[in-house]
A = this chain, B = another copy of it.
Amino acid sequence: MRPYSQIIEQLRAAGLRPTRQRLALAKLLFENAPRHVTAEVLHVEAQAASMPVSLATVYNTLHQFTEAGLLKEIVIDPQRSHFDTTISDHGHFYFEETGHLQDIPSGEATLTQMPVLPEGTKVKSVDVVVRVFNN
């Protein structure tokens, strides 16, 4: 769990004012970190916690936090976007039946080698997804 003051600091550093809405969402995200959320889930949680934030603001905030380096967007589901409080490169298990997402412990999903990159490109991230189903 990340110290709260650090969040405010990072928001400021990114030029984001620590508004009531952003702090509410940061609280939900980082006091329960590490975790994965969709916009909808976070929106519902905010209502439930009596810290209502409009869905549009949830979307905006998730993207702003991602830009600020507080979150990482995980592309795993063609239907909806997922965001992860753990920003370092790491793999995920994805339960297709439930839409649930789980981190793969660090070191358990690394490549044997970095592939030869196409001419003139640099790596932004290496994403590993192990899709699993219950049996």
Closest to A102 in B: B118
Contact with B along A87-130 (1 / 0, CB 8 A): 00001010110000010110011111101111011111111111
Interface residues of A in 51-66 (CB under 8 A from B): none
Establish whether residues B135 and A121, one from each chain, have CB atoms under 8 Å apart when the complex forms. Answer: yes
> CB-CB < 8 A to A104: which residues of B?
115
Are A115 and B127 interface neighbours, CB within 8 A? no
Total chain A interface residues with beta-carbon distance under 8 A: 39
- The stretch that binds B, out of A7-15, A20-28, A40-48, A71-79, is A71-79
Q: How many copies does the complex hold?
A: 2
Q: How far is the CB of A96 from chain B (nearest CB, A)?
A: 7
Q: Tell me whether B121 and A134 are in contact (CB under 8 A).
A: yes
For A128, what are the chain B residues with a Cβ–Cβ distance below 8 Å? Answer: 111, 126-128
Instruction: State how many angstroms separate the Cβ of A53 from the closest Cβ of chain B.
Output: 21
A58 CA / B108 CA spacing, docked (Å): 39
Closest to A115 in B: B108
Which A residues contact B (CB, under 8 angstroms)? 73, 75-78, 81, 91, 93, 95-96, 102, 104-105, 108-113, 115-118, 120-135
Interface CB pairs A-B, < 8 A, 28: A75-B75, A75-B76, A75-B77, A75-B129, A78-B78, A93-B115, A93-B118, A95-B118, A96-B124, A102-B118, A104-B115, A105-B116, A109-B111, A111-B111, A115-B130, A120-B134, A121-B133, A122-B132, A122-B133, A122-B135, A123-B131, A124-B131, A125-B130, A126-B129, A126-B131, A127-B127, A127-B128, A127-B130
